[in-house]
Each structure stands twice: as structure tokens, then as C-alpha cells.
Structure 1
């Protein structure tokens, strides 16, 4: 589980770096930066939903921290 989350974070960071690269080199002539940022948003939403699903299925245990303290 930790491996999948780490890979997703690396992909999100790589997408942000590629968007920065396209912003600096394309100067608004292409839509590669927009597609890169859209991919980042999609990866972030997918990661969030995957973590929710993993918690619901019991793949991620509770933290054992009492609530309300």
C-alpha cells in the first residue's frame, strides 16, 4: 500500500515539473502545460479516492488515536 501511494506522489510531482517545463519553453503556443496540470488534478483525485477505498476495505488500519482528545 505504501508503495502505491509513493508512486502516485512521484507521478504527481513529475506532472507538476513537466507543467513548469512546458510553461517556460512553449510560451503559450501549445496546450501541453494545460494537459500536464489536468493530469496532475486527475492523479490527485484518483489517489484521494484510492485512499478512501483502501480505508473502507480495511487495507489501511485505524491509527488507534482516541477521538475527541
Structure 2
């Protein structure tokens, strides 16, 4: 389960980096629509990856594959 979470976070960061690349790229003639479309698609993938990772962690918790550890109680 740990590897799935790591891969999910890498996918989220990768899609954010792709959106940043398309946002910061210098526009050429008539490239504004394509640039906006690519950036929106990258951000949509980020949202999808985030929701998928949340659902996977929730299902893993409900199936008993992961247990919450909580914060240690200190007095």
C-alpha cells in the first residue's frame, strides 16, 4: 500500500509540473487555445489522481489493510 501512495503522489506532482510547464511556456502565434487546453487537462488529471488516491486509502482502511496510528499521547 505504501508504494501505491508514493506512485499516487508522484503522479500528482508530475501533473502539477506539466500544468506549470504549459502555463509558463512562451505562447507562439495562435497557441493560446492549445496551451490553455493542455494546462486544463493536466490539472484535471491532478484532481483525478487526488480523488483516486483518497478513495484507495479509504478502501484500504475499510478492508483493514492499513491501520491508523494516531499521535502518541504524552503527559
The alignment's TM-score, normalised by the length of structure 1, stands at 0.85
Residue of structure 2 equivalent to 1:20: 20
Report the RMSD for the aligned CA atoms in angstroms.
Answer: 1.8
Structure 2 matches for 1:34-49, cutoff 5 A? 34-49=40-55
Alpha-carbon distance change, 64 to 42 in structure 1, aligned in 2, over 3 angstroms: closer
- Find runs of 4+ consecutive structure 1 residues off by over 4 angstroms: none
Residue of structure 2 equivalent to 1:55: 61
Larger Rg: 2
Q: How many residues align?
A: 66
Alpha-carbon distance change, 26 to 55 in structure 1, aligned in 2, over 3 angstroms: farther
Structure 1 segments unaligned to the other structure (5+ residues): none
Residue of structure 2 equivalent to 1:29: 33
Structure 2 segments unaligned to the other structure (5+ residues): none
Alpha-carbon distance change, 22 to 65 in structure 1, aligned in 2, over 3 angstroms: closer
